Amino acid sequence: MGLRPPKALAVAGSPAPSCRDDNRLTSLSTDQDLVDELKRQCGTPDEVYASPELLRLTLDATAADFAVCASFRYESAAPLSIPIFILGGRHDEIGEQALRAWQVETTAKTACDLFDGGHFFLREHEATFLTALTNRLDSARRKPASGLEVLLERHI
């Protein structure tokens, strides 16, 4: 199609495609199941739970998001040739190993930045997260990707 590939891929709080296990999401079929999951993840402000209108919007969006995630099926494919920048929370149930598995999805370098916090680490450390992401993306813009190089930085 004549389109240039992206300079890089940034992923946050997401296991590599080969490590996804979204089957548990199919069991979240009621509003209460979704509320319990949102509370478990500690990423939804209390004001949302206090407002029936905001809660309804949140539950509908969450149910749609989980349905898309649950429909994913991994198929092995040729690796990308662009850097992958991986960002995750140290205390997220998505462990470092599942984050680092993105390495097999590219022939270029990967970098894994870990932050204090759970799945919504970026809300807890927004400025630090944005600085790390900006730095990674700037490096991809300035330098051509070459060879597999794995970097790990810990933040906060």
Alpha carbon distance 131, 137 (integer Å) = 10
Instruction: State both tokens at 116.
Output: 């204090």
Position 144 scores a pLDDT of 56
pLDDT higher than threshold 80 for residue 148: no
Q: pLDDT (tens digit, 9 = 90+) per residue, 12-44?
A: 999 999 998 877 788 888 999 999 999 998 889
Position 155 scores a pLDDT of 56
Q: pLDDT (tens digit, 9 = 90+) per residue, 36-86?
A: 999 998 889 999 999 999 999 999 999 999 999 888 889 999 999 999 999
Q: Are 153 and 113 in contact (CB under 8 A)?
A: yes
Whole-Å CA distances, 34 to 51, 59, 110: 16, 7, 33
Position 29 scores a pLDDT of 87
| pLDDT band with cut points at 50, 70 and 90 for residue 92 | very high
Position 104 scores a pLDDT of 95
Judged on CB neighbours under 10 Å (0-12, 13-18, 19+), 110 is: buried
Average pLDDT over residues 119-140: 91
State the pTM of this model. 0.81
Interacting residues of 128 by C-beta distance below 8 A, sequence separation 6+: 115, 155, 156
Place of tokens 């992923």: 11
